[in-house]
Structure 1
Amino acid sequence: MVTSLCESPRAINSIYFYDEIGSELFERLCEEETYYLFRTEKSILAKHAQSISDVTGPVSLIELGSGNAEKTTLLVGAYVKAHGQTTYAAIDINHSILKRAAENILSDASDLGFLGIVGTYQTGLLQTKKLTGRKLLVSLGSTIGNLYDGELNNLLLSTSSALSVGDYFLVGVDLDKETGIMEAAYNNQTAILTNFSALQHVNQRFKGNFDLFRFRYMAFYNQSMSRMESYVQAVQEQTVNLRKLNFSFHLAKGEMIRTEIMRKFTLSALNEIFVAYGFRPVQHWTDPENRCAVSLFQLSDEPTKVDSERPV
């Protein structure tokens, strides 16, 4: 926390979005008319979950950042239907949301073994090493799009270490598209509340004094980085003190704190990232408007060079 708040621009890790209140607000965000990502990805899974299960065959499913697992029920249901008894391990930092994930999954699928793991992706992956047989790691909601380069590198290194050759990684991503569509998704009322909730979470966790009335919210597309960026901007000069960390810093009027990045991918760029970590592209599934993709990769013996992959 201290390191990121000393950077330029200052930043707060998006992990602070997901306390109890933040998780509820994110569910509200998914219902916003302009927030297309949740609905679009869910429609892709509804149409292609059975095809995904056919490609991989029977596997144990491990989800990074399960949330309430509403979309994942479609995937798990397809595996149970096609292959019978299936194991599903959900990893999330929020204990309460994991309980809801269990309720959603178990009410919708019989022949299912559920394992809930409270922790970060890295700690959760260590616990799933004991699962036997072929595995399918799942990351939906363009979660990897929220990671900075170093964080993404650490995640993919942890992933390739936790999986065995032949295991799969299913990734949901937001595709690059018209700027207006992307900016509208992150500039609604619920998005504003979600970002201010993250400040309040930091206050509670670190005995901070962020005054929410002294900030305004903004989100815009950074074309050079191919990502949306959200910020809270100081509307007046102020000093923020995080007493539990024995840390304070001064904010000038107009100074911004970055709260989140949301990378937007092309399929060829996504392939390049995963190939560099030893995964080979298997198949991409997209919606009719090519807004989002659900992409399947398989861990191979050694990195495979791929020029491009066309969406299915």
Structure 2
Amino acid sequence: MTVIPNLTDLRPTPDDILGDVLTGLAQSPKRLPSKYFYDRRGSALFELITRQPEYYLTRTELGLLKASADQIADAVGPQAHVVEYGSGSGKKTRLLLNAFKDPVAYTPIEISHSALAETVRKIDRRFGSLEVLPVCADFTKPVPLPRPARKADHALIFFPGSTLGNFDADEAISILRAMGQTMGSRGGALIGIDLQKPRSIVEPAYNDKKGATACFTLNLLVRLNRELDSNFDLDRFAHHAIYVEEHSRIQTFLISQREQEVEVAGRAFRFAAGELMQVEYSHKYTDAFFSALAAEAGLRVAHRWNDPNNWFGLRLLRRIEHA
């Protein structure tokens, strides 16, 4: 395993993963946590997804960041400690750091150790003088931030990719509320949100013709088999993603192809033929709904940036200061 300099290692233990999986499989309908998609192979498969022609999200957000980076930097201000939730490949971060004025430090928080190592390598190569303080952890839970050697003027939480949309409203509010605490009274949070658009655009993005998304979804079962001594048969499950307009979200499932029994750490779980196991949500937002979520978390939208087609948005949040 690659050694990551200055690493704070808070990644979930096998017992943490097992507890989450057993809890999800005991529910009706059954669920698996999407945060465990990102082992080494899962991270690589997601990068492949972002290059598929149907998957508009990454290229649209990258274009928006390129066009708006200077405006974002002006709005954020100098000497920020940039904290990224779910660093991934780091492409978007490098665009921001290039534009920011005298950033003090960069803290990527990533659940995948391999993805984190790659991010740190690329940032170190491009920004050699910037202090990098990586944290391997589940960002959906409170994460203590490492303290930079040089004092920052404020913190900027960066949460791109519309990852917030993977959580239901209550979970999203909890994450936003934790962000508000982390960024402090002078800080901010820059959030990527996928905006509502026709089914004909949204649904193919999660059902690409080459099957990269299906491989990514099924890889979750590969990981569980490897790490939890489970016996999911990949030939007996299939990827299925649909856009549910009532909830303005993609719902991704694994469908049991036959009646079967699966064991996880010695516990048996029965699946009916055609049974749906939920593995991910991907919400598509309106401005009104997103602003309401932020307000519930004690945050307000201070700045808005959209791409020319209004497909994707970046929102800079500040804390609501009460008199």
The TM-score normalised by the length of structure 2 is: 0.88
Give the distance between the partners of 2:249 and 2:182, measured in 1 at CA: 28
Indicate yes or no: 2:220 matched with 1:205: no
AA of the residue aligned to 2:46: F
State the 1:163 CA deviation: 2.5
Of 100-109 and 134-143, more deviation after overlay is shown by 100-109
Residue by residue over 1:214-254, the C-alpha shift from the partner in whole angstroms, topping out at 9 and shown as x without a partner, is: 112111001111100111111110001102xx422100101
Give the distance between the partners of 2:232 and 2:61, measured in 1 at CA: 35
Equivalence map 1:1-312=2 (5 Å): 1-58=21-78, 59-79=80-100, 83-121=101-139, 125-128=143-146, 132-188=152-208, 189-243=211-265, 246-302=266-322
State the 1:86 CA deviation: 2.9
Give the distance between the partners of 1:123 and 1:232, measured in 2 at CA: 26
Give the distance between the partners of 1:160 and 1:84, measured in 2 at CA: 23
AA of the residue aligned to 2:144: L
Contact kept, 8 Å, 1:117 with 1:124, in 2: the verdict is: no
Other-structure match for 1:310: none
Which secondary structure state, in structure 2, belongs to the residue aligned with residue 172 of structure 1? strand
Which secondary structure state, in structure 2, belongs to the residue aligned with residue 10 of structure 1? coil
Give the distance between the partners of 1:39 and 1:47, measured in 2 at CA: 12
Contact kept, 8 Å, 1:60 with 1:88, in 2: the verdict is: yes
Contact kept, 8 Å, 1:186 with 1:219, in 2: the verdict is: yes
State the 1:26 CA deviation: 0.2
Unaligned runs of 5+ in 1: 304-312
User: Percent identity, aligned pairs only?
Assistant: 31
CA-based RMSD of the aligned residues comes to: 1.7
Contact kept, 8 Å, 1:85 with 1:113, in 2: the verdict is: no
Give the distance between the partners of 1:241 and 1:195, measured in 2 at CA: 19
Unaligned runs of 5+ in 2: 1-20
**Count of residues in Structure 1 that have an aligned counterpart in Structure 2:** 298
Give the distance between the partners of 1:302 and 1:20, measured in 2 at CA: 44
State the 1:125 CA deviation: 3.2
State the 1:161 CA deviation: 2.2
Give the distance between the partners of 2:91 and 2:69, measured in 1 at CA: 14
Other-structure match for 1:308: none
Question: For residues 241 and 125 of structure 1, do their structure 2 counterparts lie closer, same or farther at Cα, with a shift above 3 Å needed?
Answer: same
State the 1:129 CA deviation: 6.7
Contact kept, 8 Å, 1:278 with 1:302, in 2: the verdict is: no
Which secondary structure state, in structure 2, belongs to the residue aligned with residue 62 of structure 1? strand
State the 1:148 CA deviation: 2.6
Give the distance between the partners of 2:218 and 2:27, measured in 1 at CA: 20
State the 1:287 CA deviation: 0.7
Question: For residues 31 and 295 of structure 1, do their structure 2 counterparts lie closer, same or farther at Cα, with a shift above 3 Å needed?
Answer: same
Give the distance between the partners of 1:129 and 1:270, measured in 2 at CA: 31
Contact kept, 8 Å, 1:175 with 1:266, in 2: the verdict is: yes
The TM-score normalised by the length of structure 1 is: 0.91
Contact kept, 8 Å, 2:241 with 2:250, in 1: the verdict is: yes
State the 1:24 CA deviation: 0.3
State the 1:110 CA deviation: 4.5
State the 1:72 CA deviation: 1.0
